[in-house]
Amino acid sequence: MTEAVIHASDSDFEATVLQSDVPVLVDFWAPWCGPCKMIAPALDELAGDYAGRAKVVKVDVDQNQATALKYHVRSIPMLLLFKDGQVQATQIGAVGKPQLAQMIDKAL
């Protein structure tokens, strides 16, 4: 069984992401966003590939505007890599799985 992508909200973002003991790749997305849907399969694969070493978390910007505002999410998809509660890397726009894996690898 592979690890699944975790869905975080304003209320549990801190516990899920900022207090994580492993690096966390956060995808700020929305259901109506085409490019967000394009990268979803890659994120699902990464969640399995890095199970136990890193987490992949999705935050729906429509439902969780406080978190989106806090991290200045102006265009989606926007991916932030967190380690020890701090943003280590940012990627705006849809990219392939290799680029996303590289973001995670740098934090491991």
What's the pLDDT tens digit per position in 70-80? 999 999 999 99
Strand 24-29: give its sheet, edge to edge. Answer: 6-7, 55-60, 24-29, 78-83, 86-92
CATH of 6-107, one of 3.40.50.11310, 1.10.300.10, 3.40.30.10, 3.10.310.10: 3.40.30.10
Mean residue pLDDT across the chain = 96
Residues with catalytic roles = 33, 36
Say if CB 43 and CB 58 are below 8 A apart.
yes
- C-alpha triplet 88, 32, 68: angle, nearest 5°: 35
Share of the chain above pLDDT 70, in %: 97
